Structures are given as C-alpha cells and as structure tokens.
Structure 1
Amino acid sequence: MPTLPLQVDRDDPRPLPTQIAAQVRELALSGRVADGARLPSTRALAADLGVSRGVAEQAWDQLRAEGWLEGRRGSGTWLRVGGFAQRAVESPATRRGVDEELVMMDAGTPWRDPRQSALWRRAWREVSTADPPRAYEEPGGIEELRVALAERLRRTRGLAVEPDQVLVTSGTVGGLRQLFAALSPGEIAIEDPGFRAAVVTAELAGRVVRSLPVGEGAESDLAGCAGAYVTPSHQHPTGRVLPADERLALLRRAEGSGCVVIEDDYDSEFRYDVAPVPALASMAPGRVAYLGTASKTVLPSLRLGWMVLPESLHGAVLAHRAVTFDMPPWPVQKAFATLLRDGHVDAVIRSARKVYAARAEKVVAALSPHAELAGPVAGMYSTWLLEPDRALRAREAMAAAGFRINLLADYCRNADLSGLLVGFGGPTDAEFELALEVLVSALSRS
C-alpha cells in the first residue's frame, strides 16, 4: 500500500484536513511525489496518521475539488499535478528566476473571467467584418468608443462629459506621457509611496519629481508644480481613500498655485463595501485631468485607457496627437467599443467584484494575526505593514513556491514604509488557496 511522508500537528490551529491537504500540495510542487503517482486510500491514510477516516476523506475531497487528485474505478486515487504545479516540478530554479513564469499576485493583474475568451472572440469577429479607416484614425480616438466611454463616465463616475472631451490613450502611461508634454513648465508632485511608472514617465519627460507624502497631502506645498499626480479613490499602493477635507484642500492649493491635479482612477469600480468613491474630477473639472484604464477591468495587454482634460489642456494634447498619432491601434479600440456596447465590460466588473470581495475576506482573516493592514481593502489587492526582514522573507518564500508578490518599500522614495502588497486577481482559485497557505506559513515562522 503506498504511503506518504505526512504528519499532523494537533497544536497547529489549522484543521487537520487542511494540514494534510497543504502537505500533499507541497510534495507535488517539490516533485517528491510525481504526477500520476498512486496515493493511499482514505482508510490507509487515516490509519497512518492516527486520525479518523472522516478527516482523511475531507482532505482528499478538498484536493479532488482543486483538481489535484483523480479517482480511477477499481484502482484507487492518483495525483494529478496540474498546469502551474507541473512547471514547478519540471524546473523550480528556472521558475524562480523568470518573473513571467510566476503566478502574479501583484497590484495590477486582474482576475480573468472564464467567459472572457468567448466575449473576445465575438468582439474580434465584429472587428474582422468592419471596414478599417483609410487613413490614421481620429486623433481623439474612434467616435464609437468615445461615445461609449462618455456614457460610461457619466453613469459610473459622475462626470458631465461629452464624447468630444474624451481622449483614448495607450493606457495610463500613454496618457501621462502626453499630459506631461503639454503641461506648463514646473515640477510634478507624485504621491510617496506611489505609482512607480508615473515617476519614471515624468522623469523621462524631463520633469523634476517632488514627493507628495501620503497622509500629509493637506499640508503639502504645490508652489512651482505644474501637476500633482494622485490616486484619491484607492491610493496606490497603501489603499487609503483621500478624505473629503483633504480633497477640498488639494483642489484649493492647486487652484492657488496654478497646478493641474492629475487623477488616476485606476480601479475605483472595484469597491465591494460601499459604492465607488466619486471622482475628484467631478468636483473641479477645470482643474483636474482625469485618467482611466481598461487594464484593471479587462486586460493589461490591451494597453488602452482614456482621459478627460481641462479645456486649457485638451486642445494642446489633441494637436500633439494629430502630429504624432500616439494612440491605440484601431482594431483594439473597435473591439473594446463592442465590449462596452454589448454590456460585457459591466458583466465582467460585476463578477470580478464578487471574486475580489470573497478573496479579500480570506486574505484579511488569514493575515490579520501576522501583519497590520495599511488601509481599507478594495480593488484587487491589499497592503500589509511588516518589518523589512519579515516582508523580504515572505516574498522569497512565495517566489520559491511559484508566486510573485511585491514589497511596499519598492514604491517608496522618501517614505519609510515596509510590508507586502498581496494581489487577488492573478491566481486561479486553487493557486490562491495554496498561495495563502504558503504566505501564512512564512509569516508564522518569521
């Protein structure tokens, strides 16, 4: 009868079936039990471990539900490693060394709706039968998409915007690149900690970056700044929501200094405790440049976003685009317009919100005994405060198991913060459960 090197710890707060299932996954990932290996029956497993047969059955049922086990009539239970685990068995060293082969649990990888492939095929079929423009598309973006985006921004973000005011961009970074080129001379204030790509984009545009300390924004001086980049609905990466009084103070200081507030509204639609926080641009459209993205709702690889600018900047950016043609390809715009028109983006957001809410609840329950939550949990990630050495050891343990999470310190320039960003979107259900066990185990040991 086959046996496994398993043991149960009755002092461990985890239920016995959970302990057993976790050890079997680890054996599979490490390659110590090969794909297709026959496993002991629940009766034999219970006898080996000194537990009831019900405990063994619960462990096997859990693994079978996750796709790790396969039952063969008359011949027992067999291990089925599965796709992501197979890579770890074949080449764990390579997997740790190549980020693309890690399961992403970062702040920017969205959950993929199982229906999405069919929706994409339908959208692309419509693109394939449409007549492409004979010349470069309109500098603001194709009209069909701008109409759909304007309707969506009015409905979901409270922005009183017309289609001619919407500019389709090559993602948030593409919008920032164009905006930094059009702003008057001056520094760019960016939240600290904050979005790293915004810092790099500003520096590449020849701008001096000034830190805007998170939580101290109401006192920050914007004199000499041409723009101030903020993520008020869900601060990236701490998760903080900019309070109403600080919003008003920011707008007053920007008005007084002639600074344009740049609002990156990257994942506001994924609040699952309350309704989405109103966009800052709805309070002062003449002072706020608003940026949105499809990367968090549909796919990052679309490289598609949009922006609504104060009138003083809109004409300058539009004239620049008419010369550079710096915008997403026509087929991508057309496909996304189709998804919006048919209600598919709304459907994906609704289902993703449910997934994120359920996963967030599990993350908070699992990590609260080991780390401090940095801010409200929303969107597709949560941020946890930890000592630097504990955070680093946890990230290394996750990488060894095939998962990538980010360090909070990597988003800081002058801010003295350390911890982890734990994303909900990238993994499958089975990967998510395994990752959470690995992370809790790593934090428990440190």
Structure 2
Amino acid sequence: MPILPVTLDRRAADPLHRQLSLAIRTLLADGVVARGERLPSSRALAADLGVARSVTEQAYDQLVAEGWLETRRGAGTYVAAQGHAIAPIPSRPPETDKRPVLRLDTGMPWIDPRHAAGWRRAWREVSTAAPPRGYDDPRGLPELRRLLAERIGRIRAVRCDPEEVVVTGGTTDGLRHLLAELRPGPVAAEDPGYRAAVATVQAAGRAVVDLPAGRPVGPHALVGAAAAYVTPAHQHPLGVVMSAADRLALLAAATTAEAQIVEDDYDSEFRYDVAPVPALASLDRTRVTYLGTASKSVAPSLRLGWMVPPPELGEAIRRRRAATHDSVPWPVQRAFVTLLRDGYVDKVVRSARRVYAERAPRVVEAMSPYATAAGPSAGMYSTWLMDAERARTARAEARRAGFDVPLLADYTRTSPLTGLVVAFGGVTDAQLDRVLAALRRGLARS
C-alpha cells in the first residue's frame, strides 16, 4: 500500500477535498501510483493528513465517479485497472528572440479613435436590450438583415430582399455553410489567394483547383468544379480589379459548368483611385453567392459577416443552420444593428479610406525604386513583385526592426510569383515610416 505524497493548504481558496482529489489525480496521471494498486483507507489517509475523514471520503468518491479509482467490497479502494491516461504536457522550447514583432496583416483595418463613442454606445444598447428567449432566427436578426440588405444594395448594387440575407460568423463561416449545400466536386480558387478560404474548402473535404489570379477564365476552366471562389473587387493579395470582360467570361464558364461562383467582396469599400466597381453578384443573382464581412471596416475580432446566396441555396442553408442552432451570437448582431443604424460603419469607412489614400503613395515612393507593383493602389495594403531572395532579405531587415511583413509566396500554391505584401492599415504613421525605412535598407542591400 503506497504512501501518498500529498500536501494540503488550509489557507487556499479551494476546499480541502478538492485539493486532495486534484493531488491524487495528478499522482495517478503521472504514474506515481500504478494501476491496480491499493490506496490507504479513507480513515488512514485522513489520519496521515490530519484532516477530517469526510475530506478523504469526498475526494475518493469524486475520483471513483471519474473512473480513476474503484472500490472493491470488503477489500478497500484501488487504482482502476483500466483508468485514464494523460499525456505529459510538452515543455515549451526556449524563446530565442523575445523582442515584440508587429505583423503587418492585410486584414487589420485602421479605426479612427475619434469614433470610439459610437462603438461604446452600441454596446451600451446591447447591455440594456432584452435578449431573445429562445434560439435566434438562423438567418440572423430581422432588423440587421434589413439594414444589411439596404447597405449592400446602396454601395454594392446587389438588390436583395432582407429575407435573402444570412448573417454569418465571417467570410469563411459563410463559405463553410455554402459548401455543405453544393453538389460534390472540387472548388476552383485564385492563386495567389486567400489562404483561409482555401483551408476552409479543404476542411470540407473538397479538392482545390488553382485559378491563376488576374487572368481571364477560359470557357471550360470550371468544368467538373462545384464552385469557384474569387475576389473580383480587389483581388487578394495582388490587388487587381477583375475587368468587365473577365467577369462576363467567368459567369459564362460557371454557367457552362453549372458551378456556383462565390464572390468574396474583399476590401471593396476602400477604393480611393476610382469609384468601387459594382459587385459581381449584381450581374447574376442565380449564379453568384455574395459574401461580405465587417472585419475590414470595423474589427476582425467582431467575427461577423453576411452572405446573399441564390434563393434555393439560401433556403437549404437556413434549414441546416436551424437544425444545428448555428447562428452568430445575439450580442454581436445587436451591436452591429446600432453601428449601422447610427452611421458608425459609414464614418469609420470614410475615415479609413482617407488614411489609406494618404499612406498608399508613401508606400509607392518607398518601394517603386526596387520592385514592381502587382496592382493599383487601393485598400489597406499593396503587393510588390521582386525575386524571392530579395524579398526574403527585405523581410529579414523589417523583422530586425520589429515588423513581420508577409511574403507573397505565403499566399501562393503553384504560382511562381514572389515578392512582399506591405499592409498599412493596422499601424500608426510612425510605425509605417519605420517599417518602410527597414524595407528600403534591405532592398538597397540586396
């Protein structure tokens, strides 16, 4: 019979019986006490520890209920012969560089702090509003869908009824629900392209077919595919806008293949060189599913988006979400109602657009002597083409300055394109100056 090396702390907040069950559980998980071994009786263990017998009895009862211990009539308490096993927690590797590094992420927006009062007001309204008694409408709050339908029609020329709008947990959440309702088959996706969308397609058990980004789609390019995922307003990450001719060619190819086009309306609100091009879904509501998000305008952590699928797909998605109780949390939806209703979203978009329009030429001035722009200046980042070694050298210099600048190669699968993706949304002006100076040093030296 083993002696249990247990120490209890009478000053701790946890009750003694809970401390004891945790200590014994740890001994069993670590193998200090072998399976099948008999433990001291509750009376003997209480005497050893100087506690009331009720403490050891409660601890033993808890561990028996969990399956760690078993009692044998007339024989005592034993470690369960077929008990649990917990793998040891691996030790963390030593940190070689503890300096903070700021990642210049393409999805990090700049939010004007002057609009913070509107943000706070939205959450105060949430705190005083009565939540629904049951599960939400799987499509989202009716008021939010009405405001979204109005906004999508006003700024993206996608005419839809509020009943057709589905509130999602972001772009990839909408894509996941759509994929579940499409016929079997691979999904064509732009290359370079949005990595999270590709990962979502693969997680759904579908193969990915690469579509060279920025090139016209041939008439038979989508044959056999169930869908094509594209970012026509501002191709991610090259930044090019899909031309009218290429949009019509894509629609024709999708019609031939009977495939669904998934339009991620990425970054569409932040054109500052020309007026935003209407959404692809404005040309064909039956062939295109429209995806939008609040991540680029309000905050990625809000995890809120919307989709406008064709009616027959929308009804299938609604039924599936109703069956699984899959909906965006009510507080987030309710807050976004206020943010839209009170004009907060429009204000932060206008402010950010002005900031991006001022920052983009500074990036062009710094990068153009050393690299070629992949697309026009728009949105909250720009992509620069250069050979792979030069890109890595510049990135290393930026990292030494405390900034992580993504490589274009991080967004490619089979595409040979290489370069850097320089984001300027989630930084201050001073930070942008520092990262551009570091990139220039690296590029000048390579």
Q: TM-score range by the shorter chain?
A: 0.7 to 0.9
* AA matched with 2:119: W
CA 1:341–1:191: 2 relative to 1, 3 Å? same
Q: Aligned residues: percent identity?
A: 58
Matching of residues 200-279 of structure 1 within 5 Å: 200-219=199-218, 221-279=221-279
* AA matched with 1:415: S
Work out which of the two has the higher radius of gyration on C-alpha atoms and give 1 or 2: 2
Q: What's 2:415 paired with?
A: 415
Q: What's 1:291 paired with?
A: 291
Q: What's 1:59 paired with?
A: none
1:194-250 alpha-carbon deviations (Å, 9 max, x no partner): 111111101110101111111333226111111000000100011111111110010
Q: What's 2:444 paired with?
A: 444
Q: Is the CA contact (8 Å cut-off) linking 2:235 and 2:266 kept in structure 1?
A: no
Q: 1:166 deviation in Å?
A: 0.5
CA distance in 1, matches of 2:250, 2:146: 31
1:315 is the counterpart of 2:315: yes
CA distance in 1, matches of 2:188, 2:421: 23
* AA matched with 1:420: L
Q: What's 1:93 paired with?
A: 97
Report the 3-state secondary structure (helix = DSSP H, G, I; strand = E; otherwise coil) of the residue aligned with 1:182.
Answer: coil
CA distance in 2, matches of 1:325, 1:404: 39
CA distance in 2, matches of 1:325, 1:443: 52
1:101-152 alpha-carbon deviations (Å, 9 max, x no partner): 4323121111121124322211100000000001111100011111110110
Q: What's 2:348 paired with?
A: 348
More divergent stretch after superposition (320-329 vs 268-277): 320-329
CA distance in 1, matches of 2:111, 2:214: 33
* AA matched with 2:312: S
CA distance in 2, matches of 1:414, 1:225: 18
Q: 1:421 deviation in Å?
A: 0.3
1:227-274 alpha-carbon deviations (Å, 9 max, x no partner): 000000100011111111110010011011100000000210000011
Q: What's 1:138 paired with?
A: 137
Q: 1:92 deviation in Å?
A: 9.5
Q: Is the CA contact (8 Å cut-off) linking 2:384 and 2:419 kept in structure 1?
A: yes
For these two proteins, the number of residue pairs brought into alignment is 351
Q: Is the CA contact (8 Å cut-off) linking 1:103 and 1:426 kept in structure 2?
A: no
Coordinate RMSD, CA, aligned: 1.3
Q: What's 1:71 paired with?
A: none
Report the 3-state secondary structure (helix = DSSP H, G, I; strand = E; otherwise coil) of the residue aligned with 2:226.
Answer: strand
Q: What's 1:12 paired with?
A: none
* AA matched with 2:97: A
1:119 is the counterpart of 2:123: no
Q: 1:325 deviation in Å?
A: 2.3
* AA matched with 1:111: W
Q: What's 1:65 paired with?
A: none
Q: 1:350 deviation in Å?
A: 0.3
CA 1:401–1:262: 2 relative to 1, 3 Å? same
Q: What's 1:181 paired with?
A: 180
* AA matched with 2:308: V
Is there any run of 5+ residues in structure 1 with no aligned partner, and where? Answer: 1-90, 96-100
1:343-397 alpha-carbon deviations (Å, 9 max, x no partner): 0100000000000010001100111101110111111000000110111111111
Q: Is the CA contact (8 Å cut-off) linking 1:146 and 1:164 kept in structure 2?
A: yes
Q: 1:435 deviation in Å?
A: 1.3
Q: Is the CA contact (8 Å cut-off) linking 2:119 and 2:344 kept in structure 1?
A: no
CA distance in 2, matches of 1:180, 1:142: 23
Structure with the higher helix share, 1 or 2: 1
Q: Is the CA contact (8 Å cut-off) linking 1:265 and 1:279 kept in structure 2?
A: yes
CA distance in 2, matches of 1:208, 1:103: 34
Report the 3-state secondary structure (helix = DSSP H, G, I; strand = E; otherwise coil) of the residue aligned with 2:189.
Answer: strand
Report the 3-state secondary structure (helix = DSSP H, G, I; strand = E; otherwise coil) of the residue aligned with 1:109.
Answer: coil
More divergent stretch after superposition (203-212 vs 111-120): 111-120
Report the 3-state secondary structure (helix = DSSP H, G, I; strand = E; otherwise coil) of the residue aligned with 1:168.
Answer: strand
Q: Is the CA contact (8 Å cut-off) linking 2:235 and 2:242 kept in structure 1?
A: yes
Q: What's 1:102 paired with?
A: 101
Q: What's 1:280 paired with?
A: 280
Report the 3-state secondary structure (helix = DSSP H, G, I; strand = E; otherwise coil) of the residue aligned with 2:354.
Answer: helix
Q: Is the CA contact (8 Å cut-off) linking 1:263 and 1:288 kept in structure 2?
A: yes
Q: Is the CA contact (8 Å cut-off) linking 1:380 and 1:424 kept in structure 2?
A: yes
* AA matched with 1:436: L
CA distance in 1, matches of 2:135, 2:398: 46
CA distance in 2, matches of 1:424, 1:379: 9
CA distance in 2, matches of 1:344, 1:92: 43
Is there any run of 5+ residues in structure 2 with no aligned partner, and where? Answer: 1-94
Q: What's 1:160 paired with?
A: 159
Structure 1: 4+ residue segments shifted above 6 A:
none
- TM-score, normalised relative to structure 2: 0.77
Q: What's 2:376 paired with?
A: 376
Q: Is the CA contact (8 Å cut-off) linking 1:104 and 1:427 kept in structure 2?
A: no
Q: Is the CA contact (8 Å cut-off) linking 1:176 and 1:198 kept in structure 2?
A: yes
Q: Is the CA contact (8 Å cut-off) linking 2:397 and 2:441 kept in structure 1?
A: no
CA distance in 1, matches of 2:388, 2:128: 55
Q: What's 2:78 paired with?
A: none
Q: Is the CA contact (8 Å cut-off) linking 2:190 and 2:211 kept in structure 1?
A: yes
More divergent stretch after superposition (295-304 vs 323-332): 323-332
CA distance in 1, matches of 2:259, 2:301: 32
Q: 1:434 deviation in Å?
A: 1.3
Matching of residues 322-341 of structure 1 within 5 Å: 322-341=322-341
CA distance in 2, matches of 1:361, 1:324: 48
Q: Is the CA contact (8 Å cut-off) linking 1:92 and 1:400 kept in structure 2?
A: no
1:428 is the counterpart of 2:423: no
Q: Is the CA contact (8 Å cut-off) linking 1:170 and 1:326 kept in structure 2?
A: no
CA distance in 2, matches of 1:349, 1:249: 31
Q: Is the CA contact (8 Å cut-off) linking 2:214 and 2:235 kept in structure 1?
A: no
